[in-house]
Chains A and B, each alone.
Chain A
Amino acid sequence: MSTPQPNDFSVVHPIDHLMRADRLPHILCAGCGIGTVIHAYVRAIDESGTDPDQHVCVSGIGCSGRAAGYVNVDSYHSTHGRALPFALGIAVHNPSLTVTVISGDGDLMAIGGNHFIHAARRNVNLNVICINNFNYGMTGGQVGPTTPIGAKGTTAPQGSIEHPFNLPYLAKACGASFVARWTILHVRQFTDAILRSMDKDGFCFTEVLSPCPTSFGRRNKLGEGLDEVEMYRERCHIENGAENLQDLDIDIVDHEQPITVGNFVDIERTAFHA
């Protein structure tokens, strides 16, 4: 193998042409899974064989919201919660573009929750990747709409007392054409899910469970990013086409509970064309 020396920037990654490589390394923490999702997104563009100039990436605010800043396609880092309507404007005005929203669970499901349910209801032609790390990482680890009951955050020091959203169930109920849940360890599967979304008309939703060792893992005794991913490896079971989406809540406290992942929904439903 080649043994590059530290500070040797002559080596470039083969996918660097789809990244704003001059901005790497990115700002995300060691062990954070968001980089893996960004990586999978650009790999999906590459593997799709489509023209990168016809791809648009939109994100909201938060750690996951930084995704748009690293991908070398037309990319828009919008406001907190508004990635979906911003992306709707692009996708509806120019239907030839493939528009992907990459954002976090707090951005898409709390402050942006209303837009999520309506974009799915309309079946707008958008690919939505929700990076779920169960908390607000950027602001230091507050609980949010996906924080499992009992999990701790700075705003729930004794553990969250609220029921979280079960995102695949929500997306399906709202009318999404494609619904999947994976973890960053299932990188091949979720890259395929993104590819399927890019090819499919209508609202396509993929939840990717991703470690946040700095803000969530540390407080919830999940260890480093590697430990959280290892937990996913042990607990996840794949059930493509699972119909009991209402039962797919994620329990982060009880490590005996399985976490179901897979491509759950892939239906034909008329997409929104204004």
Chain B
Amino acid sequence: MTSADGIVRKPMDLDRAGVPEGEVHIITERCKECGYCIEYCPEKVLVYSKEINSRGYHFPMIAEDKATSCVLCKFCDLICPELAIYTTDASDDETQS
């Protein structure tokens, strides 16, 4: 958070706020490999799978070192034309379990 003039700007509630952690769910059979979720993920969490679904498409999967990188922006979900991917709040899941 350093601006061009070198001044460090820090949100007042930084101590309390955290980057949300998301869990990615993929409905592989719906995927048609358009790539929107992979391309537009701000954290580059997703990669194409090596395997294919029953219709021959490489669906998205979590990149090897990105298991905890989802920031829950939900963009993959929103832009998916197939309703084949969505995210949930991983911290919610923890409190629930």
Contacts and interface: CB of A to CB of B under 8 A. Distances in A.
A138 B7 CA distance: 56
A8 interface: yes
A36 B79 contact: yes
Interface in B22-43: 23-30, 32-36, 39-40
Contacts of A96: none
A32 B29 CA distance: 17
A6 B83 contact: no
Interface in A161-190: 184-185, 187-188
B81 interface: yes
A30 B78 contact: no
B29 A30 contact: no
Interface string A102-142: 00000000000000000000000000000000000000000
Interface residues of A, number: 43
Interface stretch (A12-20, A50-58, A79-87): A12-20
A35 B26 contact: no
The residue among A28, A35, A185, A188 with the most chain B CB atoms within 10 A of its own CB is: A35
B87 to A, nearest CB: 9
Given A11-B25, A30-B33, A35-B82, A6 B51 contact: yes
A105 B81 CA distance: 19
Contacts of A184: 79, 81
Contacts of A40: 78
B34 A4 contact: no
Contacts, number: 100
A229 B28 contact: no
Contact of B81 (A8, A15, A36): A36
A159 interface: no
A248 B25 CA distance: 39
B79 A24 contact: no
Classify chain B's interface size: 20 to 34
Nearest to A31: B34
B54 A6 contact: yes
Contacts of B52: 6
A75 B68 CA distance: 40
A226 to B, nearest CB: 5
A14 B34 contact: no
Task: Choose among B26, B57, B81, B86 the residue with the greatest number of A CB atoms under 10 Å from its CB.
Answer: B81
Interface of B: 23-30, 32-36, 39-40, 51-55, 57, 61-62, 67, 75, 78-84, 86
20 contacts: A1-B24, A1-B67, A4-B26, A5-B28, A7-B53, A7-B54, A8-B29, A12-B27, A25-B84, A29-B32, A31-B32, A32-B81, A33-B81, A36-B80, A39-B81, A43-B78, A185-B40, A187-B78, A226-B34, A229-B39
| Smallest CB-CB A-B distances: 10 pairs | A35-B81, A30-B32, A31-B34, A187-B78, A13-B83, A36-B81, A226-B35, A6-B53, A25-B30, A11-B27
Given A30-B34, A36-B79, 20 more contacts: A1-B24, A2-B25, A6-B28, A11-B25, A11-B27, A13-B83, A15-B86, A25-B55, A29-B32, A31-B32, A39-B78, A39-B81, A185-B40, A187-B78, A187-B79, A191-B78, A224-B34, A224-B35, A225-B34, A226-B35
